[in-house]
A and B are shown apart, each in its own frame.
Chain A
Amino acid sequence: MKVQVKYFANIKDLMGKDTEDIKDMNSITVGELWLNLTKDMDIQIKVLYAVNQVYVSKDYKLNDGDEIAFFPPVTGG
Chain B
Amino acid sequence: MTAPGKAGRLGAALLDAAKAMLVAFGLFVVMVGLRTDVSSSGALLLRTRWMDVALLCAAVFVLRLAMALWVRPRLPAAGSALLGTGLTRAGLLFGPALLAVALVLPFIPGIGRYELDLGILVLTYVMLGWGLNIVVGLAGLLDLGYVAFYAVGAYSYALLAQYFGLSFWICLPLAGILAAFWGVLLGFPVLRLRGDYLAIVTLAFGEIIRIVLLNWVSLTGGPNGISGIPRPTFFGLPFSMSGGPGTFAGFFGLEPSPSHRVIFLYYLILGLALLTNWVAIRIRRQPIGRAWEALREDEIACRALGINITNTKLTAFALGAMFAGFAGAFFATRQAFISPESFTFIESAIILAIVVLGGLGSQIGIAVAAIVMIGGFELFRDLDEYRMLVFGAAMVVIMVARPRGLVGSRAPSVLLGERRRIDASLVGEGRG
The answer to whether A and B assemble together is no
Interface residues, chain B, with chain A CB atoms under 8 Å away: none
